[in-house]
Structure 1
């Protein structure tokens, strides 16, 4: 049986058994591979790095979307940068009070192939009337847009290749400009045990734009190496410390059923391990 070896860090890798290759080609921006596995369902990789698997995608997508959204009383406008598989879009649109979710994705092929080979991840989200899909560069979008959002979610690759520009001081400053005064930005920020510099760099760069930068953590099986950090930027420290009673009421009123997210876990996710806190300098 063919295997896919993902070299994650120096001297460390994970391996997947491949039952069949569904698609493999070089898009305009990156090498894209989708394959079937016996345990994780279908898997998408970009430039040799696992992006999403059918079996555990709910962990990442629920926490990327619902933590910032439930931290606000009544968000109306959301911007997603990246996220071509449609999972974050799917979860955001579950909030009935949202009026529009704008998604800016650089690589149209990622969207098309995700819809063809992994349709359950987007679950029809691209056809929702509230979805405003923009094919373009998220960096340029936040630098030029005149719109203001309650939440910006940056579902990017790691800071190499096309995703590198989405970890810069200028990008965070432009996100801040595109947020409403109480707005929140949430970002993908790697596995701190093996990628400690990402935490330190993001904390410093985001801290130049936001009064209350920080992180929350999730346990994502296929992003191996311990906790994964998600970046958090806003100007109101209390947004990362929303009372449990408030979260519980908002969650109840939303009428949603989750597989990972709970109000209790929402609060607990901001309780960082000491080794992560030590990197926030």
Structure 2
């Protein structure tokens, strides 16, 4: 995190996860799994002014660092919830426009957060044309199996983008057919996205645009 600009996205994979704005630039409700240093929640809170944001984090020690990382305090449109995301998604209503999955433990993604049943719960928790955005490690031995598990719920309405370091794989999966919009590859700034945010995202969005053109 840059202390001079604490809401900026310093890591490429986080900018890549924001690629959903090419398809859904004005989400009403976002659900994020994994608080970490709070970079994505802070960015979305600042630049997606119309979004109601819920962040689910299982570790109270991580939540305890929220002030150090300048994560916003809970308020009418932002909250951090201490819970097991597998349990939370199982009971969540179908009202999320975007779900972010960026929950990692010491050994990688916990088994409960990469199961076929969990991805089915994510699918159910999305509104029609809602988007699931997942951060995977490309070199994990089960990476392709994880993709198959996502595909069981989302079918062909998904695509993968890999960062320049060949470390992170970002998967976008849609409940409807929103990802089939050819206009997304044109990389035009949606009116709802501030210019400052767009300048930060644009270099990485070009990678996503090229991936869409190759589909």
Given the two structures, how large is their TM-score scaled by the length of structure 1? 0.63
Instruction: Give me the whole-angstrom Cα distance separating, in 1, the residues matched to 2:112 and 2:188.
Output: 36
Of Structure 1 and Structure 2, which has the larger fraction of its residues in strand?
1
Q: Deviations over 1:78-108 (max 9, x none)?
A: 000112321110122211221x101110012
User: Alpha carbons of 1:71 and 1:128: their partners in 2 closer, same or farther (altered >3 Å)?
Assistant: farther
User: Alpha carbons of 1:163 and 1:271: their partners in 2 closer, same or farther (altered >3 Å)?
Assistant: farther
Which residue matches 2:171?
Answer: 231
Q: Deviations over 1:209-249 (max 9, x none)?
A: 11213312223xxxxx5252112221344416552576414
Structure 2 stretches lacking a partner, 5+ long:
none
Which residue matches 1:243?
Answer: 183
User: Alpha carbons of 1:265 and 1:128: their partners in 2 closer, same or farther (altered >3 Å)?
Assistant: farther
Task: Tell which has more relative contact order, 1 or 2 (C-alpha 8 A, sep 6+).
Answer: 2
Give the RMSD, CA atoms, in angstroms.
Answer: 3.2
For residue 40 of structure 2, give the secondary structure of its aligned residue in structure 1.
helix
* Structure number with larger C-alpha Rg: 1
User: Alpha carbons of 1:215 and 1:152: their partners in 2 closer, same or farther (altered >3 Å)?
Assistant: same
| Matching of residue 59 in structure 1 with residue 4 in structure 2 | no
For residue 154 of structure 2, give the secondary structure of its aligned residue in structure 1.
coil
Of Structure 1 and Structure 2, which has the larger fraction of its residues in helix?
2
For residue 243 of structure 1, give the secondary structure of its aligned residue in structure 2.
helix
Structure 1 stretches lacking a partner, 5+ long:
1-39, 43-54, 220-224
- Counterparts of 1:1-281 in structure 2, within 5 Å, are 57-64=10-17, 66-93=18-45, 94-98=47-51, 100-116=52-68, 119=69, 123-127=70-74, 129-157=76-104, 160=107, 163-190=110-137, 192=138, 194-195=139-140, 197-198=142-143, 200-211=144-155, 212-219=157-164, 226-239=166-179, 241-244=181-184, 247-250=187-190, 252-258=191-197, 260-262=200-202, 263-270=205-212
Instruction: Give me the whole-angstrom Cα distance separating, in 1, the residues matched to 2:13 and 2:107.
Output: 20
Shift of 1:72: 1.2
Q: Which segment drifts farther, 170-179 or 77-86? A: 77-86
